[in-house]
Amino acid sequence: MHFLSIVEIGRRYRSGTLTPRDYVEHLIARVKRLDGKLNAFLHLDERAARADADKAGAELAKGHDRGAFHGIPVGIKDIVAIAGDVTTAHSRVHDPKPETRDAAAVAALRDAGAFPFGKLALHEHALGGPAFDLPAPSARNPWDLSRMPGGSSSGSGAALAAGLMPAAIGTDTGGSIRGPAGFCGIVGLKPTYERVSRQGVLPLAWSLDHIGPMTRDVRDNALMLNAMTNGAEDFAREIGRPIAGMRVAYAKAWHMRDVPCEPAVAEAMDAAAERLRSLGAEVVEIDPGEFAAYGSTNWTILAAEAFAVHEKVMRERPEDYGARARELFAAGAFVSAADYIRAQRARTTLKAKLDAILDTHDALLCAGAGLQPCAIDDPAAIARLLGSSLRGAFNLSGHPAMALPAGFDAQGLPLHVQLATATNSEAKLYRLAAAFEAADTDKRHPAEFA
């Protein structure tokens, strides 16, 4: 039951073969049994989850159906406000007062009948992990508990892959939805910038922060984006349509030329291109320019804005941060106003380059990272892994971008691809991703959590 899709859970709710309360009890039991080795949860309010499940069950029984997310428990990354809960950011540096209202994304999910299911682990303040000097342990990768799950939405990715919940909210400033989604073998979408309201989410870098859905399959992801945006648009409307004739630009040079790349990743990327071709898409190699320009411009803006957020505490009590976050936040002290403006000017030209590609192609295919997840306690390997990330370009540009499972390497770790489309073209992205996913013949779950 724990790996059911949201579509199937809803079907069972409506046929009377499952109730939200029974489903939540099943998940609570799994969290109690399994999360001790995964560390995906910072806090789970069981009483609230049961009460919310009962309320949803009663509404559904009366025929008051709010749609696909009615009665669905959703994990919340702990920089996203839930009324009555303290938002900790997985850090000693946080406001100890409980939130007075839900973040806009949480409120939208509640309106759709969903309810919060736990505050989830993250890298400290969405930047600094994994780390071992924080008030709570770092989440681990359910495919190999000795490895990092990616971040910063680490708890969200780990909990979904381990079957502890069917959906989770993530945030993404340089790849923080797509990284853990890719490394944990689930689906994560960074929507178009400001598609989902940032209200009630602790900022990392205002002009780069995105909020988005994390699920185990593409259709569930589209339905979650529907719910997070109050049904403003049906993002699932193109799922199931053929992709024959769609033009896909393949940025092979990014992983082959610009970052360290494992053979398994290179092979998976070429196999993904072939899979799209076999579905009738036209896949052509393009070169958007050296990735270092995108990555360094993203990091410069991120560092400057994040330092502005954390400046006071960094000056007065830097020892309250974990060592990793402390050092990363300090980088922003070395970005001058002129540097920041130079980076914003570069951002405009880099976005224009990607716009030009996406004006003439339906999507851009590229790797999420050149390397596979490394040991969680090896700082040098983690630095190499982060240096192989190819995700920040789409935080700069604001284009929607998704991490999508693409098989497994020889060690049994999930591989993934990244797909991006033009601004506000999420429906097209879901169409392409769903076709890609449907042609995937290797759908497994982590052995320790099956």
Partner 1 sequence: MADTDTATEILARARMAGLHRFAELYPDALIRAGEGMARHLANIPASDDPATEPATYFTP
Residues that bind partner 1 (CB under 8 A): 292-293, 295-297, 299-300, 303, 307, 311, 314-319, 323, 326-328, 330-335, 339, 341-346, 348-350
Nearer to partner 1, 4 or 313 (CB): 313
Q: Which entry of 77, 119, 252, 428 is annotated as an active-site residue? A: 77
- Considering the complex, what minimum distance in angstroms separates the CB of residue 347 from partner 1? 8
- Considering the complex, what minimum distance in angstroms separates the CB of residue 351 from partner 1? 10
Distance from C-alpha of 214 to C-alpha of 185, rounded to nearest angstrom: 11
- Considering the complex, what minimum distance in angstroms separates the CB of residue 256 from partner 1? 19
Nearer to partner 1, 349 or 411 (CB): 349
- Considering the complex, what minimum distance in angstroms separates the CB of residue 341 from partner 1? 6
Q: Which entry of 91, 138, 176, 397 is annotated as an active-site residue? A: 176
Nearer to partner 1, 175 or 180 (CB): 175
- Considering the complex, what minimum distance in angstroms separates the CB of residue 160 from partner 1? 32
Q: Which entry of 152, 153, 154, 388 is annotated as an active-site residue? A: 152
Q: What is the 3-state secondary structure (H, E, C) of the chain?
A: CCCCCHHHHHHHHHHCCCCHHHHHHHHHHHHHHHHHHHCCEEECCHHHHHHHHHHHHHHHHCCCCCCCCCCCEEEEECCECCCCCCCCCCCCCCCCCCCCCCCHHHHHHHHCCCEEEEEECCCHHHCCCCCCCCCCCCCCECCECCECCCCCCHHHHHHHHCCCCCEEEEEECCCCCHHHHHHHCCEEEECCCCCCCCCCECCCCCCCCEEEEEECCHHHHHHHHHHHCCCCCCCCCCCCCCCCCCEEEECHHHHHHHCCCCHHHHHHHHHHHHHHHHCCCEEEECCCCCHHHHHHHHHHHHHHHHHHHHHHHHHHCHHHCCHHHHHHHHHHHHCCHHHHHHHHHHHHHHHHHHHHHHHHCCEEEEECECCCCCECCCHHHHHHHHHCECCCHHHHHCCCEEEEEEEECCCCCEEEEEEECCCCCHHHHHHHHHHHHHCCCCCCCCHHHC
Nearer to partner 1, 181 or 335 (CB): 335
- Considering the complex, what minimum distance in angstroms separates the CB of residue 319 from partner 1? 6
Nearer to partner 1, 189 or 303 (CB): 303
| CB atoms inside a 10 Å sphere around CB 263 | 9
Is 77 considered catalytic here? yes
Nearer to partner 1, 214 or 314 (CB): 314
- Considering the complex, what minimum distance in angstroms separates the CB of residue 355 from partner 1? 13
Distance from C-alpha of 417 to C-alpha of 390, rounded to nearest angstrom: 10
Nearer to partner 1, 329 or 430 (CB): 329
Structure tokens of 418? 């990244």
Catalytic residue numbers read 77, 152, 176
